[in-house]
Amino acid sequence: MPNQKKILCSACLLGVKCRYDGQSKPNEKVLALSKKEILIPVCPEQLGGLPIPRVASETTASGEVVLAGQGKVVTKQGDDVTENFIKGAQEVLKLAKTLDIEEAILKQRSPSCGSCQIYDGSFSKTVVKGDGVTAALLKQNGIKVISEEDL
């Protein structure tokens, strides 16, 4: 189709089994959009070197704070995986810049992809305001980020 937009998209929303639990989270609205626009699947955690499956992770602060070196991303077992999350975010940004992408649809509440909502780091399913690490880095670089819930 002519004039199709290129949009980054959390791979799990397109049915790719890349989540921490080895599963996907296909989203009907995202799948329908993939018929009209070019959705480029990304999994920042995988691009940051983490395996599938992997131990669940949460941020101790918003993505902006993590990127500034003031917060961490830790697994449920207490391992620090901040470096992996930052590396993955940087790889996604590199891809966005290479392909001149201006928008991203990212998985809500993810420690990488959450847009305006993330878990609080207590592994109690408590949601707080804030962005995941990748969402924060993309926003800092002028890329519009929405969640699948915003479609």
Residue 15: which pLDDT band, with cuts at 50, 70 and 90? Answer: very high
Backbone angles phi, psi at 109, to 5 degrees: 75, 0
pLDDT at 143 (0 to 100): 98
Which pTM was predicted?
0.96
Query: Taking the domains of the chain in order of start, what are their residue ranges?
Result: 6-150
Q: How far is it between the farthest Cα atoms of the chain?
A: 48
What beta strand segments (E) does the chain contain?
6-10, 38-42, 57-59, 73-75, 103-106, 117-119, 127-129, 144-147
By DSSP bridging, strand 127-129 and strand 117-119 are: antiparallel
- Is residue 125 over pLDDT 60? yes
Give the integer Cα–Cα distance in Å for 16 and 94.
21
Task: Calculate mean pLDDT across residues 120-130.
Answer: 96
pLDDT digits (tens, 9 = 90+) for 84-93: 999 999 999 9
Written as six digits, the tokens of 82 are: 């901040």
Q: What is the pLDDT of residues 28-86, one digit of tens each?
A: 999 999 999 999 999 999 999 999 999 999 999 999 999 999 999 999 999 999 999 99
pLDDT for 1: 53
